[in-house]
């Protein structure tokens, strides 16, 4: 396998609006990010992904872009962005921008021009389609609820929006539009970006016949994702995009790919794949309800482990997925993947260990490194997110009580991850001197960076050790390129795997006890050295293992152990 500069890196996602506010307007900004680069460097971060910072009406928090060449005023100026790039570079860090090109904002110049001349050149930058029998061209429901077609005023046409109606889909069949997109990407890459995180990309390929499908809900509509699942050919667009843009810059790209077809992994992230990497959403997909958030099931450990292991094995010999436990679209990992009794610092460290040491590229979401959690709200009006408002309504219409619907939001809302970063125990968590755009999680008095920086045994201190271990010169080869081998699969509640490298001759065991009870495991070899423990001093853990000849694990205990000898 050809080695690439990003293989051994650790990435961090910033949600700019909620990261750090430098001027007291309650909105995070570029200057705030610049002020925290040293914090990220110290954590061990190499690559920073910024959720969208372009000019936007913020109907979907910046995922609706009205000018791809401008920085949103709320976040700062292009000069500040250039400064951020330069400051990152000084620290050997890379910046990824979010590339949102399935759709733009309805305020974008292209769409405004299209509306004013619905038969003109710009109308063909979008899907302006004639209705059928005085109705929409098909029965699609958008991802955010309601019809995916909106009338084009003064015509018998409709335009397609797979997300909000303020997010019209761009017509990728049009070569002129594709050229505009590539020029824009190259413009940013030339500034010195490390690459892109690529939003909702599977959706760019449509079946332009827009067939209707049998309804999948009481609204008589069908999720627009059905059409995406049925259509082929997205790969042609993706290859063209790669050749025209990031390939020329050796840029890193990570795709947000849902609904990939079976056996396409190599095409997506193999050596000559469309992208450098793509997020591993297999665990997230476990949490889908049949009809929405209200009937989503809690994550069951056994299924979770099974699906993550299967995903790890699937990518072996193919490429690198990007491992996450949360992002800006998901609830907090600590609130989702940890059982009730493990929702404490030990549990959070355990979850970190099993995620960061997997094969692939770790992506940490802001606040994960201090163990931020979901946030309870008393009323739907306290939420901002467009998807949350829709899902609340879906729950109510399905007959849920207000409390049940709020519970579904508490467990699944995208706003759980979007509350301001908890920097300190000061008012508003030290995020802003003003009034935050979204209210802080009240637990900032206990969970915050400042407090954790002062404590050797905090979640934050542990993340630093964990990342440093992954990148340590002696073990880097094994953690980066070593194979993934599951172990203890027959043992309930144990998340265990070996990383094995022919190159380094090392075998490293990671084992974590997600169960409520302590247990003792047999070892797959002789213990050489405890590299990390989330509960004890490494030397104590090592002495214990030597005396027993076995591996004892408390509830919520995780251990990383170097074994004697190389591959068996
Ligand atoms: O998300 C794409 C996506 O498929 C979403 O529907 C996701 O499943 C949903 O957020 C769950 O509620 C990307 C971005 O990550 C998201 O923030 C944007 O809202 C969306 O694209 C539209 O740009
Ligand atoms: Ca600000």
What are the pLDDT digits (tens) for 91-109?
999 999 999 999 999 999 9
pTM of the complete model: 0.98
Round to whole Å and give the CA distance between 533 and 536. Answer: 6
Q: Residue for token digits 């404590």? A: 455
Q: Which of 63, 164, 327, 412 to mutate to test the pocket of ligand 1 (most atoms within 8 A of CB)?
A: 63
pLDDT of the residue at 565: 79
CA 39 remoteness from chain centre? 21
- Specify the ligand 1 atom closest to the Cα of 412: 12
| pLDDT for residue 159 is more than 90 | yes
Measure Cα distances from 562 to 170, 317, 489, 540, 542 in Å.
51, 23, 20, 15, 10
pLDDT of the residue at 566: 60
**Neighbour order of strands in the sheet with 149-151:** 128-130, 157-160, 149-151
Task: List residues with catalytic annotation.
Answer: 199, 256
Mean residue pLDDT across the chain: 97
Domains belonging to the chain, first-starting first, are 11-103+175-460 (3.20.20.80), 109-160 (3.90.400.10), 479-563 (2.60.40.1180)
Ligand (nearest to CA of 288): 1
Strand partners, 513: 494
Nearest alpha carbon to residue 17 among 50, 46, 64, 49: 50
- Specify the ligand 1 atom closest to the Cα of 258: 4
| pLDDT for residue 567 is more than 70 | no
Output the CA 217–ligand 1 centroid distance in Å. Answer: 20
Among protein residues, the one whose CA lies closest to atom 14 of ligand 1: 199
Q: How confident is the model at residue 1 (pLDDT cuts 50, 70, 90)?
A: confident
Output the CA 328–ligand 1 centroid distance in Å. Answer: 9
Output the CA 22–ligand 2 centroid distance in Å. Answer: 5
Ligand (nearest to CA of 26): 2
Of the chain, the percentage scoring pLDDT greater than 90 comes to 98
CA 501 remoteness from chain centre? 28
Ligand (nearest to CA of 292): 1
| Ion ligand 2: residues, CB < 5 A | 21, 23, 25, 27, 29
User: Is the CB of residue 274 less than 8 Å from the CB of residue 319?
Assistant: no
| pLDDT for residue 568 is more than 70 | no
User: Is the CB of residue 431 less than 8 Å from the CB of residue 18?
Assistant: yes
| pLDDT for residue 285 is more than 90 | no
Q: Which H or E element spans position 501?
A: none
Mean pLDDT along residues 508-530: 98
Q: Which of 51, 199, 413 to mutate to test the pocket of ligand 1 (most atoms within 8 A of CB)?
A: 199
Among protein residues, the one whose CA lies closest to atom 23 of ligand 1: 63
For ligand 1, which residues put their CB under 6 angstroms from it? 60, 63, 100, 143, 163, 199-200, 256, 258, 328-329, 387, 414
Can you tell me whether residue 309 is helix, strand or coil? helix
Round to whole Å and give the CA distance between 342 and 555. Answer: 8
Ligand (nearest to CA of 204): 1
Ranges assigned E (strand) in 10-147: 11-14, 47-50, 54-55, 67-71, 94-99, 128-130, 140-141
- Specify the ligand 1 atom closest to the Cα of 327: 15
- Specify the ligand 1 atom closest to the Cα of 329: 10
Ranges assigned E (strand) in 173-219: 195-198
Output the CA 79–ligand 2 centroid distance in Å. Answer: 16
Among protein residues, the one whose CA lies closest to atom 4 of ligand 1: 200
Q: Which two tokens stand for residue 511?
A: 């084992």
User: Is the CB of residue 186 less than 8 Å from the CB of residue 245?
Assistant: yes
User: What is the dihedral sign for C-alpha 448, 18, 200, 217?
Assistant: positive
Q: What is the pLDDT of residues 475-489, one digit of tens each?
A: 999 999 999 999 999
């Amino acid at each position: 396998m050809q080695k690439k500069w990003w293989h051994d890196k650790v990435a961090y996602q910033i949600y700019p609006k909620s990261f750090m506010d430098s001027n007291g307007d309650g909105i995070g900004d570029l200057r705030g990010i610049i002020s925290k680069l040293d914090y990220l460097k110290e954590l061990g971060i190499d690559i920073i992904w910024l959720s969208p910072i372009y000019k936007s009406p913020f109907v979907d928090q910046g995922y609706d872009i009205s000018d791809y060449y401008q920085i949103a005023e709320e976040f700062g100026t292009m000069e500040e962005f250039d400064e951020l790039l330069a400051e990152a570079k000084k620290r050997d860090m890379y910046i990824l921008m979010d590339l949102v090109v399935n759709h733009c904002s309805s305020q974008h110049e292209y769409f405004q021009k299209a509306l004013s001349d619905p038969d003109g050149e710009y109308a063909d930058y979008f899907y302006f389609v004639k209705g059928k029998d005085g109705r929409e061209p098909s029965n699609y429901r958008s991802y955010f609820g309601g019809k995916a077609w909106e009338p084009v005023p003064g015509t018998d046409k409709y335009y397609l929006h797979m997300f909000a109606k303020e997010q019209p889909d761009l017509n990728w069949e049009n070569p002129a539009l594709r050229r505009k997109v590539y020029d824009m990407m190259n413009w940013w890459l030339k500034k010195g970006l490390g690459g892109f995180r690529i939003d909702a990309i599977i959706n760019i390929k449509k079946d332009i016949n827009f067939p209707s499908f049998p309804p999948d809900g009481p609204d008589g509509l069908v999720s627009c994702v059905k059409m995406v699942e049925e259509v082929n050919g997205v790969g042609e667009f993706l290859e063209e995009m790669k050749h025209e843009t990031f390939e020329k810059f050796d840029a890193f790209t990570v795709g947000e790919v849902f609904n990939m077809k079976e056996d396409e992994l190599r095409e997506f992230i193999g050596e000559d794949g469309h992208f450098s990497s793509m997020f591993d959403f297999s665990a997230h997909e476990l949490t889908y309800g049949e009809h929405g958030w209200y009937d989503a099931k809690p994550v069951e450990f056994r299924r979770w482990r099974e699906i993550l292991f299967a995903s790890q094995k699937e990518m072996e010999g193919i490429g690198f997925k990007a491992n996450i436990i949360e992002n800006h679209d998901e609830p907090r990992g600590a609130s989702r993947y940890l059982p009730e009794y493990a929702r404490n610092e030990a549990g959070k460290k355990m979850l970190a260990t099993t995620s960061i040491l997997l094969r692939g590229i770790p992506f940490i979401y802001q606040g994960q490194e201090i163990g931020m959690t979901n946030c309870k709200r008393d009323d739907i009006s306290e939420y901002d997110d467009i998807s949350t408002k829709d899902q609340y309504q879906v729950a109510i219409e399905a007959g849920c009580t207000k409390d049940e619907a709020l519970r579904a939001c508490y467990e699944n809302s995208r706003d759980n991850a979007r509350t301001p970063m908890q920097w300190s125990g000061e008012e508003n968590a030290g995020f802003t001197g003003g009034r935050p755009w979204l209210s802080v999680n009240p637990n900032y008095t206990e969970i915050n960076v400042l407090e954790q920086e002062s404590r050797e045994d905090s979640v934050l201190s542990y993340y630093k050790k964990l990342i440093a271990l992954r990148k340590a010169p002696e073990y880097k080869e094994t953690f980066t390129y070593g194979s993934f081998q599951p172990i203890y699969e027959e043992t309930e509640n144990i998340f265990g795997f070996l990383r094995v490298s022919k190159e380094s001759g090392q075998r490293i065991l990671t084992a974590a006890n997600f169960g409520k009870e302590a247990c003792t495991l047999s070892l797959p070899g002789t213990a050489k050295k405890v590299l990390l423990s989330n509960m004890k001093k490494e030397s104590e853990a090592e002495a214990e293992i030597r005396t027993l000849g076995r591996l004892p694990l408390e509830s919520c205990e995780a251990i990383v152990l170097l074994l004697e000898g190389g591959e068996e």
